[in-house]
Amino acid sequence: MSQPDGQNNELSNLLNESRTFPPSAEFASQANATAELYDQADADREAFWAEQADQLHWETKWDQVLDWSDAPFAKWFVGGKLNVAYNCVDRHVDAGNGDRVAIHWEGEPGDSRDITYAELQREVSRTANALASLGVSAGDRVAIYLPMLPEAVFSMLACARLGAMHSVVFGGFSSEALRSRINDAEAKVVITADGQYRRGKAMPLKANVDEAVKETPSVDHVVVVKRTGSEVAWDDARDKWWDDVLDGQPDTHTPEAFDSEQPLFILYTSGTTGRPKGILHTSGGYLTQAAYTHRNVFDLKPESDVFWCTADIGWVTGHTYIVYGPLANGATQVIYEGTPNSPHEGRHWEVVQKYGVTIYYTAPTTIRTFMKWGAEIPAKYDLSSLRLLGSVGEPINPEAWIWYRKNIGGDRTPIVDTWWQTETGAIMISPLPGATATKPGSAQRPLPGLSAKVVSETGEEVPNGGGGLLVLDKPWPSMLRGIWGDDDRYRETYWSKFADLGYYFAGDGAKYDDDGDIWLLGRVDDVMNVSGHRISTTEVESALVSHPNVAEAAVVGASDPTTGQGIVAFVILRGGVDDAASGEAALKELREHVSREIGPIAKPRQIMIVPELPKTRSGKIMRRLLRDVAENREVGDVTTLADSSVMNLISKGLKTGSD
């Protein structure tokens, strides 16, 4: 492994990094947003949001900006009507920009395709007509289980055009995860591909769908995009090739205007229990904040910028900053199908150079991977087109921030560290690149029109220099409208902790520095953050105990230099299971089992076989102590354990397996 930059001294100094990076005069003078935007929003919040919503095309104007009378169920732009797909596609064609490239699509094997807004309009229209021919209409749910193909974007926008909801399921999730999501949403149609390219190899994808839809009574059709050309099993009554359903469909489609609160999508995310939550987003408010944040945080100039968000469409970042934000703003963007090291570790920089990418948005885990690969790799490419960099998914450590700015941003570009969640729908806390003197490691301030506070357990705002919990104390346009099918869980999960104060509890710890800037400190609940993906400890524990050899399991997120956190599992084997079950091969099998149950992203980094688990008298597992073991620290205070000798037993009896 090469040393990041080969400059160790510099890195250790960064632990005390206190420099700030004001925007250059040149950047500031051309920026979309100035500091005045804060004042403007503070003066009249609702008027401010009305002005942002006005940048979209509404078929019928709203008569009320916000209805919060049924809190925590919000309604934004009440009475307004719009079509989300019209706003993301047709509007730009109607404005004379049909020839502008919407998507530079780059396939992993090196094939590519440029799609103009005019072409996107035709493709989305054909897809909408095709879905309608399969019986999809407003209010229906469509599951999308696709790699990063243009068809994923066409499908999402086709649903939006019809007023149907999409539920995109990340292509790395297992058939079991797919099945539970299809069933929870009662999806009518599943859109998938024969296979997907991963690190140069064609991997099956439809096979997972075949497995999943064995027990999904709601599914009438599976539509299959041909990508890898690999063999697939076929059910004539149910399965249809994408090309066949689209063939002969007219390439025009009249969009219908839907209510501002028409549901747009469901996206599942991990909570503190094993059962994923279907986060529900609606139309007018979501699109308003997606477009507003994309325009101002990324300083987007639609005529000249080339935007690239490296997220997968299966996560909210892909929804908001590949599909809805950029397309609502008429941006030109890159969509890349593959992994950053296919076929070589310079692939991202090759793509930046090829398309002249100006704005690049990625996750800290990816940046740390690039650091590991070495600064000499990006140095081989011309990255001078870049003018702004972004980060999202977890706190970015100052070393990674500085490395990013220096080696990717040429010591020149502002970096926006953007805090938000699946539930918030769009960015909430971030610098404004033309106005904020940025600080490596801090997301800093809520954007104009948005509000967040760091409070104590009892809800009082902590003073500067103090730490506590992050809350959102005012409703915002792109906020979730609920958990699909479970209003009680919605209230309980987000609104019960500070019920009297009406605060939304984000699940993150945070602190204010002496200037009042916010620093995010990671999750305070049983949710791990692995490579910017949320995975609950309970979910992995349930997967482990579903294996016949496992009696009990406890999972912790241990800090990891590349992925932020890594999954470490402590497992008690069932009585009667012989020694072979704790051998190297058996441990490997357990890790594979989790990967099959949930998906490769949930595969534990390490499994330790233990004779006991540390529990309090009330039976709650003390993960703190297990984290000490997983991170090779001296074990902390054990006095609240029911049996304080357990930790000795654990450290003595460890049998461990990892890569």
CB closer to ligand WT7 out of 232 and 535: 535
In the complex, least distance from residue 423 CB atom to ligand WT7, rounded to whole angstroms:
7
Q: Known binder of ligand: residue 418?
A: yes
Instruction: Tell the smallest beta-carbon distance from residue 442 to ligand WT7 (Å).
Output: 9
Determine whether the annotation assigns residue 534 to a binding site.
yes
Distances from the Cα of 58 to the Cα of 50, 80, 182, 187, 253, angstroms: 12, 7, 32, 29, 18
State which residue, 270 or 549, has the beta carbon closest to ligand WT7: 270
Encode 483-530 in three state secondary structure.
ECCCHHHHHHHHHCCCCCCCCEEEEEEEEECCCCCEEEEEECCCEEEE
550 is in an annotated binding site: yes
Q: Is 179 marked as a binding-site residue?
A: no
We find the least distance from the C-beta atom of residue 101 to ligand WT7, in angstroms, to be 26
Q: How far is the CB of 426 from ligand WT7 (least distance, A)?
A: 9
393 is in an annotated binding site: yes
Cβ 395 to ligand WT7, closest distance in Å?
4
Please choose, from the candidates 537, 575, 566, the residue with its C-alpha nearest in 3D space to the C-alpha of residue 553: 537
How far apart are alpha carbons 176 and 105 in whole angstroms? 30
Residue number, 117 or 361, with CB nearest to ligand WT7: 361
Find out whether 198 is annotated in a ligand binding site: yes
Query: Nearest-CA neighbor of 342 among 582, 124, 74, 108?
Result: 108
Closer residue to ligand WT7 in complex, CB, 121/422: 422
Nearer to ligand WT7, 355 or 419 (CB): 419
Of 340, 272, 325, which Cα lies nearest the Cα of 531? 340
What DSSP string describes 177-188?
Answer: HHHHHHHHHT-S
Is there a binding annotation on residue 410? no
CB of 359 to ligand WT7, least distance (A): 16
Residue 461 neighbours by CB under 8 Å, 6+ apart: 453, 454, 455
Asked if 455 and 503 touch (Cβ cutoff 8 Å), the reply is: yes
Is 417 annotated as belonging to a binding site?
yes
- What is the spatial distance between Cα 642 and Cα 637, in angstroms, rounded to a whole number? 13
Smallest distance from ligand WT7 to CB 516, Å: 17
Q: Which is nearer to ligand WT7, 506 or 609 (CB)?
A: 506
CA dist 480 → 55, 279, 280, 499, 504 (Å): 22, 6, 6, 17, 11
> What is the 3-state composition of the chain as percent helix, strand, coil, each rounded to the nearest 5?
35, 25, 45
Tell me the closest approach of the beta carbon of residue 441 to ligand WT7, in angstroms.
Answer: 9
DSSP letter for 384, please.
Answer: T
Annotated binding-site residue? 456: no
Closer Cβ to ligand WT7, 335 or 427, answer by number: 427
Specify the 3-state DSSP secondary structure of 573.
Answer: strand
- Min separation Cβ 393 and ligand WT7, Å: 5
Residue 110 in marked binding region: no
523 is annotated as contributing to ligand binding: yes
If we measure between CA atoms, which residue out of 332, 260, 259 comes closest to residue 298? Answer: 332
- Is 427 or 586 the residue whose CB approaches ligand WT7 more closely? 427
The secondary structure of 117-167, three-state, reads HHHHHHHHHHHHHHHHHCCCCCCCEEEEECCCCHHHHHHHHHHHHHCCEEE
Distance CA 95, CA 442 (A): 39
Q: Which helix (H) or strand (E) holds 239?
A: strand 239-241
Between residues 221 and 523, which has the closer beta carbon with respect to ligand WT7? 523
- Applying CB under 6 A, the residues found at the interface with ligand WT7 are 269, 316-317, 392-395, 417-422, 443, 506-508, 520, 523, 529, 532, 534
The binding site for ATP consists of: 393-395, 417-422, 508, 523, 534
The binding site for CoA consists of: 198-201, 317, 341, 531
The binding site consists of: 198-201, 317, 341, 393-395, 417-422, 508, 523, 531, 534, 545, 547, 550
